[in-house]
């Protein structure tokens, strides 16, 4: 869909580097999401656009284009990234709507769709680096789509180092600053499954981000599995949450 003139609507999300709003195309009336940041602080958003614009998958949120415009009382310039709108919100929102946890068939369906999205990203040489419920969106058809590639890195680019992601979803090798490849996304998927099963983080007793990084990096612990999950579900989690990425 080509975005020409458009009108900004209500804010639907805020992150550390950008704000997400609803928007409407003036010519067609189509609704989409726009993620914006001040132009001088938009390097992460521009990088996300470059990665997303090369991707085409039903399991990854689509990039619809971008522009640079002024808005607000300051009249400053903003970088605007146009994205497919997911009316049901994030997977974390969906968990809340279902009373704080999902049943195992739903967890299995969402996990399968996340894995299909991750497999596609890896086929394109991209690691997500921040898999979690907030970064998975649910479309009007109920299917999950991976979103927010602000932390993503190219597998072949060794110069794209640095700690990326959310501490309580980080894999041990990431928390130690060693590497961040596809195995780290699989660990984060395991933490996301625990989020779907409990409505909370994989490390509920660790509130401080620095403490979380230290525990993930240097303790022998793995997150606790929900007791009500089936044997098959626990076996799958045990395969995701292996401390050795190899």
Question: From the annotation, which residues make up the binding site for ATP?
Answer: 35
Q: What is the bridge-based pairing of β-strands 77-83 and 63-70? A: antiparallel
Listed residue (94, 86, 64) closest to 139, CA to CA: 86
- 47, with CB counted inside 10 A (0-12, 13-18, 19+), is middle
Annotated binding site: 35
* Token pair in block for residue 180: 């961040």
Give the DSSP letter string of 124-188. Answer: TTEE-S--SGGGEEE-TTS-EEE---TT-EETT-TT--S--S-GGG--HHHHTTS--SHHHHHHH
- Contact by Cβ (8 Å): 110, 236: no
Active site residue 130: yes
Q: Of the listed 27, 67, 93, 130, which one is catalytic?
A: 130
Q: Cite the active site residues.
A: 130
């Amino acid at each position: 869909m080509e975005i020409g003139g458009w009108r900004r609507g209500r804010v639907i999300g805020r992150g550390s580097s950008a704000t997400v709003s609803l928007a409407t195309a003036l010519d067609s009336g189509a609704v989409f999401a726009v993620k914006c940041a001040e132009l001088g602080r938009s390097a992460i958003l521009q990088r996300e656009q470059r990665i997303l614009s090369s991707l085409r998958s039903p399991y990854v949120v689509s990039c619809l284009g971008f522009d640079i415009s002024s808005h607000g009382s300051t009249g400053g310039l903003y970088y605007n990234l146009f994205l497919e709108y997911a009316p049901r919100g994030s997977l974390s929102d969906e968990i809340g709507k279902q009373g704080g946890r999902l049943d195992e068939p739903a967890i299995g369906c969402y996990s399968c769709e996340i894995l299909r999205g991750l497999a596609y990203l890896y086929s394109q040489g991209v690691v997500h680096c921040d898999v979690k419920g907030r970064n998975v969106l649910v479309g009007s058809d109920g299917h999950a789509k991976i979103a927010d590639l602000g932390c993503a890195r190219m597998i072949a680019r060794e110069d794209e180092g640095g700690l990326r992601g959310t501490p309580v979803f980080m894999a041990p090798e990431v928390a130690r600053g060693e590497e961040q490849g596809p195995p780290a996304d699989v660990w984060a998927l395991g933490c996301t499954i625990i989020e779907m099963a409990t409505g909370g983080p994989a490390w509920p007793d660790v509130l401080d981000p620095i403490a979380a990084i230290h525990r993930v990096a240097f303790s022998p612990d793995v997150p606790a599995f929900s007791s009500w999950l089936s044997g098959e579900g626990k076996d799958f989690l045990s395969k995701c949450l292996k401390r050795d990425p190899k």
